[in-house]
Structure 1
Amino acid sequence: MSDLEPRPEESLCESSGRPGPRAEFFPAREVPLGGVRGVTVFRSLPQRDLPTVGAWCFLDHFDGASKANPEGHDIDPHPHIGLQTVTWPLDGRIRHRDSVGSDVEIAPGQLNIMTSGHGIAHSEYRVPGHISGHGLQLWVALPGESRDIAPHFEQHRELPAFRAPSIEGTVLIGTLDGVTSPATAYTPIVGADLRVAAGADTALPLNPAFEHAVLVIAGALSLDGTVVEPGSLFYLGSDRDAIRVHDTTGAHLLLLGGEPFGEDLVMWWNFVARSHEEIEQARNDWEKHDVGRFADIAGHSPEQRIPAPPLPGLHLKPRKRRCGVPHE
């Protein structure tokens, strides 16, 4: 899944320092995907007042199966720059192909991570016979020294298990309490899929140098006394070495965290950059079919490439802890 809104807004995100402990809800918004009939995603990042959590700058919880597409959806070739895509399916199978020659299927429990660097194109197709639509798609912003590296792709079929009293799960990327994923990360970060046992009253260890957020996928639980249910991203801020977890029925959640990102970002469509001019150049390179930057994908014709939407009329610059619209 990628940002396929037909008229994406430019998201403007200024760097921020450690915010201290927080307890704030950021409701996900429903976003219909352009060109994919009947598919709506629930987008938790970026938010107007929370554009990033560490280097995490995009989070969609998607369920692509619908009456129009009961077995899922296909997403044709489209480009990325300046980011890593992190794909974590919760059911079914997805076929990933890209312009560096990757052609793999991914199933639940496996992780795809694609580093776009200077430029990459990819597609995501359903696998016949497998209903594939429920999962998580995330982006990690690449820091300045890595954002123009050569694009590359990796798949991890075995990821390390995390275990704490009444909590167990998988570390997707980065490190959680000494458990480190083999997935390549370019900033200090953590992403973990966790399940809390029914009746739990325990502590989830955290890195106090990181800011963290939690997305509840199923169930409900209490975090330091605040009830958190599916539908909103719960932002914990920074400077916590643990958070108290109480659960009566069992819950499934995603933990995100990282050092606060120390660079300004401009995000638009499928691009993460530092200026409007970089976005404009990437869009032009895609539209003029610059195969030096966005090579063709084997098995796809040039006509299948998703065209870039029109750029917004305003020339926008990053602003602190606001995203998507300029200050009045």
Structure 2
Amino acid sequence: MSNLEREPAELVCPPALPQASPARILEPRDVPLGGPRAMGVRRTLPQRGRTTIGAWCFIDHYGPDDVAVTGGMVVPPHPHTGLQTVSWLFEGEVEHRDSVGSHAFVVPGDVNLMTAGHGISHSEISTPETTVLHGVQLWTVLPDASRDVAPFFENATTTPVAVDDATVRVFVGELEGAPPGTVTTFSPLVAAQIDVPEGGEAWIPLDPDFEHGFLVDAGPAHLTFAALEREVDPAGENDDPLSETGHTIDVARNELAFLTTGHEGVRVRATAGPVRLVLVGGTPFEEEIVMWWNFIGRDHDEIVAFRAQWEQDVIAGADPSGRFGAVGDSGDPLPAPVLPGIRLKPRNER
């Protein structure tokens, strides 16, 4: 998905700094993707005070939307650099085309992952059969050693598994107790959908080396982030968890709960209706990056160069086979917004 804001903020994202609170709520902001009838999204990442969770750097949450009212998703060809896009749907279908020749459909239960690397362009359009559109779009930052890889696209089907009362689908990385995701990653990452019926609960193990985010699609979700205390049995016959200690919060629908490192699990309780959430996580991202529009670079000058290449090679048609390539049968490509008239200065937003 493209960032269609006409005046996108330039963000310099510094390395992670220690946080006093183990968990806190990040509120969404509404972003329209286009004109007055355009589909809207709820953006929880990036925002002031938190620009990444692991290498996850962008979270858009949308729907359930009546396509007859919103017009659905219509995102013409647009560029990306230095990142991966991860598309995950709860309902509906989206057609994907890109400049490396991929043509695929995003459907519930499948994950589409596109690695932009050196540069790619793509389009995303909801299909005519789609009446309701509902899902999330996520980006991950590619670390410096991998950010110039050749672009490629992957689609994978996930397998649901029961964990206590929950149904869990892992679509990126690994989560104990569930089949792992099979798409390519370039840093330690996890992403999963977790569904808990009303009155149910589930213990979800977490990697203590990861930061985590919990985006609630249906809720509220009652979350207890904890380490497990175990009774030591000299005979070695009883090491069942006895109690949980940690931080408990209630997370409303559309909110994102951010959790610092050092936690071994979360108990998800559905105390006021069914819960559906998307869990993301990864090791703290230690590199400073610059995000603007659909580009990720390492300094202001790189962003300026990416924009100039897109405008010259694709919008002006000077070299359609250049860094970003061309996407066929998807309409006219999106012109890049105008850059602000100031150079970037690092902001400590973490």
Mark yes or no: TM-score above 0.5.
yes
Give 1:32 shift: 1.5
SS in 2 for 1:288: helix
For residues 63-142 of structure 1, the aligned pairs below 5 Å read 63=63, 65=65, 69-131=69-131, 133-142=133-142
Partner of 1:177: 176
Give 1:296 shift: 1.1
Give 1:201 shift: 4.0
Comparing 283-292 with 17-26, which one deviates more in the overlay? Answer: 17-26
For residues 244-259 of structure 1, the aligned pairs below 5 Å read 244-248=267-271, 249-259=273-283
- What are structure 1's unaligned runs of at least 5 residues? 323-328
Partner of 1:159: 158
Partner of 1:281: 305
Output the CA distance in 2 between the equivalents of 1:39 and 1:64: 11
Output the CA distance in 2 between the equivalents of 1:308 and 1:121: 12
Aligned-residue RMSD, C-alpha = 1.9
Partner of 2:240: none
Output the CA distance in 2 between the equivalents of 1:184 and 1:98: 18
Partner of 1:296: 326
SS in 1 for 2:187: coil
Number of positions where the alignment pairs a residue of Structure 1 with one of Structure 2: 319
Give 1:62 shift: 1.6
Output the CA distance in 2 between the equivalents of 1:119 and 1:12: 20
CA contact (8 A) 1:36 1:75 kept: no
CA contact (8 A) 1:13 1:51 kept: yes
Give 1:67 shift: 7.5
Residues 1:308 and 2:336 are matched in the alignment: yes
Residues 172-219 of structure 1: CA deviation (Å, up to 9, x unaligned): 101111642101111001000111132234422110000111011012
CA contact (8 A) 1:170 1:192 kept: yes
Q: Highest Rg: 1 or 2?
A: 2
Give 1:133 shift: 2.7
Output the CA distance in 1 between the equivalents of 2:257 and 2:280: 10
Give 1:25 shift: 0.7
Output the CA distance in 2 between the equivalents of 1:80 and 1:266: 13
Output the CA distance in 2 between the equivalents of 1:83 and 1:202: 32
Comparing 159-168 with 8-17, which one deviates more in the overlay? Answer: 159-168
Question: Counterpart of 1:133 in structure 2: which amino acid?
Answer: L
Output the CA distance in 2 between the equivalents of 1:297 and 1:121: 7
Give 1:89 shift: 1.5
Comparing 261-270 with 194-203, which one deviates more in the overlay? Answer: 194-203
Partner of 2:288: 264
Partner of 1:326: none
Give 1:68 shift: 6.9
Output the CA distance in 1 between the equivalents of 2:100 and 2:345: 32
Partner of 2:61: 61
Output the CA distance in 1 between the equivalents of 2:217 and 2:296: 26
- What are structure 2's unaligned runs of at least 5 residues? 225-247, 314-318
Output the CA distance in 1 between the equivalents of 2:196 and 2:21: 22
Give 1:165 shift: 1.2
TM-score relative to the length of structure 2: 0.86
Residues 1:13 and 2:13 are matched in the alignment: yes
